[in-house]
């Protein structure tokens, strides 16, 4: 009896080894386009762009604190600039359907009230420096200064009024964005946000 049990254990043991010892072939082929160079055929595929940022070297502790403050301000203001770009595109596309100036103004006012309802509470939480960064980022995303946008959609009087208010608080709605000049650090931070480093 013991002999048969031993044979059964050996048989089931060998069956188990052969079942689990098999290598299953997995289809891991990937079809690539090819490019013929001379007599060789080389695989051709597109790779995602990889951004490489050098290690940031700060002149002194003050420069480090100023940069980290700017980084915090850009991280807070950049989503609003993207929202402004998207909402302005929606507004612009919607205005195509209004031929009369009166209807366009009415639609703009209604749209403006809706935007105030959605975003006013969050925008009021921005600090003064975050607001200044937002003005620059709006120019970066849209291509027009905040002053030009107000003038286009609300009129010259409104644009001058809001420019005066902005100047009282140390801002300027006519600020532009220079990614290679004075706003190079902001551009670097935005690129890091896009890549997901911060």
Whether the CB-CB separation of 174 and 147 falls below 8 Å is answered with yes
**Mean pLDDT, to the nearest integer, of 52-68?**
90
SS3 label, residue 49:
coil
**Which pLDDT tens digit goes with each residue over 104-128?**
889 988 998 999 899 999 989 999 9
**In the structure encoding, which two tokens stand for residue 106, read together?**
């009415």
Backbone phi, then psi, for 190, in 5-degree steps? -60, -40
Minimum mean pLDDT range among 5-9, 76-80, 175-179: 5-9
Query: Locate tokens 């403006």: which residue?
Result: 112
Mean pLDDT of 64-91: 93
Q: How many beta carbons lie within 10 A of that of residue 73, not counting itself? A: 22
| 173, 135 Cβ separation under 8 angstroms | yes
Residue 45, pLDDT > 80, answer: no
pTM of whole model > 0.75? Answer: no
Query: So what's the pLDDT on residue 16?
Result: 57
Place of tokens 């080389």: 42
Q: What percent of the chain has pLDDT over 70?
A: 85
Q: How many CB atoms lie within 10 A of CB 163?
A: 19
**Structural domain spans, the chain:** 61-195
Residue by residue, DSSP assigns 88-140 as HHHHHHHHTT--SHHHHHHHHHHHHHHHHHHHHHHHHTS-HHHHHHHHHHHHH
């Amino acid at each position: 009896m013991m002999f048969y049990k031993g044979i059964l254990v050996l048989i089931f043991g060998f069956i188990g080894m052969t079942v689990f010892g098999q290598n299953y072939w997995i289809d891991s082929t990937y079809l690539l386009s090819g490019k013929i160079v001379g007599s060789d055929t080389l695989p051709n595929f597109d790779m995602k762009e990889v951004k490489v940022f050098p290690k940031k070297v700060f002149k002194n502790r003050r420069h480090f604190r100023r940069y980290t403050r700017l980084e915090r301000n850009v991280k807070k203001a950049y989503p609003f600039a993207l929202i402004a770009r998207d909402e302005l595109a929606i507004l612009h596309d919607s205005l195509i359907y209004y031929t009369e100036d009166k209807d366009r103004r009415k639609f703009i006012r209604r749209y403006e009230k809706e935007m105030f309802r959605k975003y006013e509470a969050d925008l009021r939480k921005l600090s003064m420096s975050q607001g200044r960064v937002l003005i620059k980022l709006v120019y970066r995303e849209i291509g027009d200064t905040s002053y030009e946008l107000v003038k286009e959609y609300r009129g010259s009087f409104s644009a001058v009024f809001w420019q005066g208010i902005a100047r009282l608080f140390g801002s300027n709605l006519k600020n532009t964005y220079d990614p290679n000049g004075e706003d190079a650090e902001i551009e670097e931070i935005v690129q890091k946000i896009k890549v997901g480093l911060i």
